[in-house]
């Protein structure tokens, strides 16, 4: 009798468990690694349990590699018609293609299911327009949480040693760079320093790249009023490359190259190489983000004990213009696959995103394990830097779903740190980089679709500019006109016309 009762009870328990399992919604989420230096969260991550118990979601999280590798991975999944339920898209070319191919679901109906998140993040009609097609919104486009965080950092200790002032114009920049290169500012008796360190980089984090030499040289083009790809003049819209000042800016870069004040490896170096070299103390001035600086300060001061860094305002050009570059006010983009929506997972996706927006979900995803990965002194979440990022980073790989960019959050992520006897208030430096950079909002660029021969367009412009900058081609009227007339061969006019049409229709160009 007792045995029979036990069997019956066991069957009932199994049945109810089975019922609970049956009510769970499987949800696959793929996001780019927020901390590439750390592995994916462990299988026993408490978030999996909490999300299952409280939200009824069986979460399956996949990390995408950052950069083109991640884009390619998503592209391959799309080609196999096997996209995750909820995923991050960083390549707008891929996003456009997925919309065209009907692989993405409109998310309009989900906004009302996550009222708090929608009110705080997705209520900007203008931003939503960037992901709208035929009146349907095809993704959750976040407000930007981290942009304009780049700048030119100068070695103040070297300036003092050589009796120089921080440069404010392109001319002064050139002279200071020359002195840093030729007057042995580190005093080691060797000719091993360069005035400026920068690389050809088109990363979209913090800067909106333009056609040409990439983010690290936009300040030169900004000094001539031609930063970014497009000249948004409503009466004479065109690509900036056609402007007379674009040639002058390129001539300035060439001048820096010819004077050998730029590290001669600038065209082949990667960002990681640049970071290694400024940390070694090779450059008097270098282009870097506040986040990149924070990560490298320890090494930098270990190699250069008496160093001091200053953040330069963008140098002014001959007409008094200046800008560190262009940026977009749109942040990360999350899309829902049509397959997921068809399978009725829309409400689970909304539940999960709303949970990640505030309270428990926000802290778990954004900051990790309380009292281990972060603490809350005076209610300010503060990262525990004693735990290496390679460890705590695992628990915050989904942090971009949570972060909102408010000042408190920035204070926690970019705290005050002391290195090499110097104090760096990182959140203040971040604010300074954003404030003094004269950054140009070019969010409208995101509405411009990639041309069918985008790779050829990009190659043509960038290759020619690099050849001009390196001195492989002379810069004179004839060669420059030849370069401009060659734009016709790659159907650049059609690209410009399509861009103008898209910008006017969306209201970004009036």
Partner 1 sequence: MLLPGLLYFLIFRYWPLWNAQIAFRDFQPTLGVWGSPWVGLQHFLEFFNSYYFGQLLTNTLVISLAKIVLGIPPAILLAIALHETSRRFLARVVQTISYLPHFLSWVIVYGILLAMLSPSEGLVNSGLRALGLEPVPFLTSTTTFQPVVVLSEVWKETGWSAILFLAALLSINPTLYEAAAIDGASRWQQVRHISLPGIMDVLVLVLLLKIGSILDAGFHQIFVLYSLPVYSVGDIIDTWVYRQGIQNFQFSLATAVGLFKGIIGLVLIVVANRLARRFVGTGLY
Question: Given the rule CB under 8 A, which residues bind partner 1?
Answer: 68, 71-72, 75, 78-81, 91, 93-94, 97, 101-103, 194, 200, 263-265, 267-268, 338, 450, 452-456, 458-460, 462-463, 466-467, 470, 472, 489-490
Considering beta carbons, is residue 156 or 339 the nearer one to partner 1? 339
- Cβ–Cβ under 8 Å, residues 228 and 442: yes
Considering beta carbons, is residue 204 or 467 the nearer one to partner 1? 467
Considering beta carbons, is residue 72 or 347 the nearer one to partner 1? 72
Considering beta carbons, is residue 234 or 471 the nearer one to partner 1? 471
Calpha distance 163→314 (Å, rounded): 21
Which position has the token pair 């760096």?
A: 424
- CB 483, min distance to partner 1, A: 14
Q: Where are the beta strands (DSSP E) in 270-312?
A: 283-289, 309-312
- CB 188, min distance to partner 1, A: 14
**Per the structure block, which two tokens stand in for 195?**
């005035």
Calpha distance 105→118 (Å, rounded): 17
- CB 335, min distance to partner 1, A: 14
What are the contacts of 448-452 at 24+ separation with CB within 8 A? 448/230, 448/498, 448/499, 448/502, 448/503, 449/96, 449/498, 449/502, 450/92, 450/93, 450/96, 451/491, 451/494, 451/495, 451/498
Considering beta carbons, is residue 98 or 401 the nearer one to partner 1? 98
- CB 147, min distance to partner 1, A: 23
Considering beta carbons, is residue 376 or 455 the nearer one to partner 1? 455
- Cβ–Cβ under 8 Å, residues 105 and 85: no
- CB 342, min distance to partner 1, A: 11
Q: Which of 442, 455, 443, 446 is nearest to 491 (CA)?
A: 455
**Per the structure block, which two tokens stand in for 451?**
């041309």
- CB 90, min distance to partner 1, A: 12
Angle between helix 346-357 and helix 46-55 axes, rounded to 10 deg: 120
- CB 58, min distance to partner 1, A: 25
Residue 210 three-state SS:
coil
Considering beta carbons, is residue 76 or 408 the nearer one to partner 1? 76
């Amino acid at each position: 009798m007792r045995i029979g009762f036990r069997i019956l009870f066991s069957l009932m328990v199994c049945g109810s468990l089975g019922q609970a399992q049956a009510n769970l919604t499987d949800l696959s989420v793929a996001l780019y690694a927020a901390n590439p230096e750390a592995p994916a969260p462990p299988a026993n991550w408490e978030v999996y349990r909490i999300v299952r118990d409280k939200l009824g979601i069986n979460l399956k999280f996949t990390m995408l590699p950052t950069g083109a590798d991640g884009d390619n991975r998503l592209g391959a999944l799309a080609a196999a018609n096997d996209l995750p339920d909820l995923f991050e898209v960083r390549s707008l070319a891929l996003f456009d293609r997925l919309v065209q191919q009907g692989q993405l679901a409109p998310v309009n109906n989900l906004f009302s299911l996550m009222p708090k998140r929608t009110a705080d993040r997705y209520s900007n009609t203008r931003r939503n327009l960037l992901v709208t097609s035929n009146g349907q919104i095809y993704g959750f486009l976040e407000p930007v949480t981290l942009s304009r965080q780049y700048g030119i950092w100068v070695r103040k200790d070297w300036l003092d040693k050589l009796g120089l002032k921080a440069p404010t114009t392109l001319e002064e920049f050139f002279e200071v760079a020359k002195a840093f290169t030729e007057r042995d500012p580190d005093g080691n008796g060797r000719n091993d320093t360069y005035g400026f360190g920068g690389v050809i980089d088109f990363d979209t984090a913090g800067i909106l790249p333009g056609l040409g030499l990439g983010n690290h040289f936009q300040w030169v083009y900004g000094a001539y009023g031609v930063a970014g790809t497009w000249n948004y003049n409503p009466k004479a819209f065109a690509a900036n490359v056609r402007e007379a000042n674009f040639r002058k800016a390129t001539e300035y870069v060439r001048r820096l190259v010819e004077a050998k004040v730029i590290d001669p490896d600038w065209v082949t170096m990667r960002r990681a190489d640049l970071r290694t070299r400024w940390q070694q103390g090779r450059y008097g001035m270098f282009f870097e983000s506040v986040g990149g600086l924070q990560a490298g300060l320890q090494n930098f001061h270990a190699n250069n004990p008496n160093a001091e860094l200053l953040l330069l305002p963008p140098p002014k050009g001959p007409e008094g213009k200046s800008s560190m570059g262009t940026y977009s006010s749109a942040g990360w983009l999350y899309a829902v696959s049509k397959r997921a929506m068809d399978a009725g997972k829309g409400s689970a996706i909304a539940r999960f995103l709303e949970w990640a927006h505030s309270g428990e979900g926000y802290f778990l995803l954004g900051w990790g394990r309380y009292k281990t990965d972060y603490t809350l002194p005076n209610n300010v979440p503060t990262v525990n830097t004693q735990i290496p990022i390679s460890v705590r980073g695992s628990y915050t790989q989904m942090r971009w779903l949570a972060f909102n960019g408010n000042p408190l959050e920035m204070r926690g992520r970019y705290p005050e740190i002391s290195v090499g006897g110097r104090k760096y208030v990182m959140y203040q430096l971040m604010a300074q980089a954003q404030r003094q950079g004269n950054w140009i909002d070019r969010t409208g660029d995101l509405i411009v679709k990639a041309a069918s021969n985008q790779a050829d367009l990009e190659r043509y412009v960038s290759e020619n500019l690099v050849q001009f900058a390196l001195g492989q081609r002379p810069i004179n009227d004839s060669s420059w006109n030849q370069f401009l007339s060659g734009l016709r061969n790659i159907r650049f006019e059609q690209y410009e016309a399509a861009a103008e049409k898209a910008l006017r229709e969306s209201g970004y160009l009036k």
